[in-house]
């Protein structure tokens, strides 16, 4: 009986480690580096997104305004709720980045990670946004 319990515990430990390695860790703050394959230009505020993985919520800066909402992650499938924002105005470049950012966020269907870069993709597998961890 003593040998069964440690073997069972070892199996559970291995299963939990495997699921952590297979999953994508969105927790923390991320800088938005590209939207629809284009480098994000300088804006009023640096576009960013933060994920609270315990509450499945996100918040961020669109380049102008602050947004927040909920997300759902299941394996590599990722979806976002509508993201209410504050209502500030800014220069035209920042406003275009904000509009593009929000539209891209709505089109996200999957997520992948490679070398510390998170890529958010649409249903066709096209990259709509890349994120780099903020230090």
pLDDT digit string, tens, across residues 9-35: 333 333 333 323 347 999 999 999 999
- In sequence order, what are the beta bridge partners of 78? 73
CB 125 within 8 A of CB 110: yes
| Residues 57 and 69 sit within 8 Å (Cβ to Cβ) | yes
Q: Above 50 in pLDDT, residue 4?
A: no
Q: Is the pLDDT of residue 83 over 50?
A: yes
Token pair 């105005």: residue? 89
Look up the pTM and report it.
0.81
Average pLDDT over residues 119-125: 97
Instruction: Tell me the pLDDT tens digit for each residue of 42-67.
Output: 999 999 999 999 999 999 999 999 99
């Amino acid at each position: 009986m003593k040998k069964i319990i440690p073997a069972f515990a070892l199996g559970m430990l291995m299963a939990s480690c495997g699921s952590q390695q297979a999953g994508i860790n969105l927790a923390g703050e991320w800088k938005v580096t590209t939207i629809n394959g284009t480098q994000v230009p300088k804006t009023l505020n640096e576009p960013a997104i933060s994920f609270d993985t315990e509450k499945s919520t996100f918040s961020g800066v669109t380049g102008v305004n602050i947004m927040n909402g909920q997300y759902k992650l299941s394996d590599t499938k990722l979806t976002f709720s509508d993201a209410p924002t504050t209502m500030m105005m800014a220069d035209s470049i920042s406003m275009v980045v904000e509009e593009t950012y929000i539209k891209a966020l709505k089109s996200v269907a999957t997520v992948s990670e490679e070398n510390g870069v998170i890529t958010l993709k649409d249903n066709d597998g096209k990259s709509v946004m890349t994120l780099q961890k903020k230090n």
